[in-house]
Amino acid sequence: MNKFRNKTITQNLAEVIQEIYHYVCSCSTRNLSTNNDDYIVRRLGMDKTDHEIIISLYWLLEDTELALIEFNSHQLQGPTRQMNNLGEKYLRLYGTLNAINLQMSALIGLFEIFKLPGKKEIKAKAKSLQAIELRHKIGAHSLDYVHASEVRNYRISRHSVDDNTLELIVLNKEGHERIHLSEALDEFQKFFHIEFYKACTSIIEKIIPGNATIKAELSRSMDLINETIKGGIVIEAEGMSTVIFIKESNSLSK
């Protein structure tokens, strides 16, 4: 399959969702006595009639992941490393924060589409993540952020955006807080990967019958993704029949 080379955990999990969708669509062609759309919606257990929302969700995850890959490679300065290009740094900051918020929306969308339990709990946990809080405070609701039923306004120190340390200073009338952007994003991604993995596992069990050929393939993919979430490095080179795990940790169990 060679599907793990040069791909992130989010990209691999998004492909799992895509494969589930394509499997159900392929099954619809074997049921010619039914309307394909009706069959697909029924097999997916959706309330919505537009099942192509899953394709939109897949591309949303793919596109936002590209933004995060770019940030991980070049941070706020960008690949050109131009000095004093403050406007680009703001674009990259707001784009990165919006990307994680859209990814969180996509995950919540999966819970809604497939009627998975635990949506309320996931939303509450996500709201407390530093990166999501930062996005709301400076990237969406800087003038009307609600904290403990009180409306507050926030602003970000321009100097902290421009000094290339990634330690952002967020100000309001109560004082200020320091947030290290990379650490906040790492916290988000660890949370997001684990919850996305759990959601995919539940969707596979709900949608794919045990005797389907694709079930074994998806299970293998999920096992490899689980290894990468736990901190393992998976190598699956061209022509290899087995997978090598370089290291392991015990941060997640199936």
pLDDT of residue 242: 52
Residues 209, 21, 98, CA angle at the centre, nearest 5°?
130
Over residues 206-216, the mean pLDDT reads 92
Over residues 132-148, the mean pLDDT reads 86
- Whether 227 maps to a domain, the answer reads yes
Q: Summarize pLDDT for 68-124 with one digit per residue, the tens.
A: 999 999 999 888 776 678 999 999 999 999 999 999 999 999 999 999 999 999 999
- Whether 60 maps to a domain, the answer reads yes
Q: Mean pLDDT over all residues of the chain?
A: 87
Residue 37's pLDDT band, with cuts at 50, 70 and 90, is confident
Is 214 within 8 Å of 208 (Cβ atoms)? yes
Position 219 pLDDT exceeds 80: yes
- Whether 146 maps to a domain, the answer reads no
- Whether 102 maps to a domain, the answer reads yes
pLDDT of residue 243: 57
**Which pTM does this prediction carry?**
0.88
pLDDT of residue 245: 59
| Total domains, the chain | 1
Residue 143's pLDDT band, with cuts at 50, 70 and 90, is confident
- Whether 142 maps to a domain, the answer reads no
CA atoms of 3 and 251, how far apart (whole Å): 23
pLDDT of residue 234: 75
Over residues 200-222, the mean pLDDT reads 93
pLDDT of residue 241: 45
Is 112 within 8 Å of 42 (Cβ atoms)? no
Is 161 within 8 Å of 84 (Cβ atoms)? no
- Whether 113 maps to a domain, the answer reads yes
Over residues 46-55, the mean pLDDT reads 86
Structure tokens at 25: 């669509």
- Whether 189 maps to a domain, the answer reads yes
Q: Quote the domain boundaries for residue 192.
A: 9-134+181-245
CA atoms of 166 and 223, how far apart (whole Å): 34
Secondary structure, 3-state, the chain: CCCCCCCCHHHHHHHHHHHHHHHHHHHHCCCCCCCHHHHHHHHHCCCCCCCCHHHHHHHHHHHHHHHHHHHHHHCCCCCCCCCCCHHHHHHHHHHHHHHHHHHHHHHHHHHHHCCCCCHHHHHHHHHCCHHHHHHHHHHCCCCCEEECCEEECCEECHHHHHCCCCEEEEEECCEEEEEEHHHHHHHHHHHHHHHHHHHHHHHHHHHCCCCCHHHHHHHHHHHHHHHHHCCCCEECCCCCCCCEECCCCCCCCC
Over residues 170-175, the mean pLDDT reads 89
- Whether 156 maps to a domain, the answer reads no
Listed in sequence order, the residues at least 6 apart from 58 whose beta carbon sits closer than 8 Å to its beta carbon are 14, 17, 18, 21
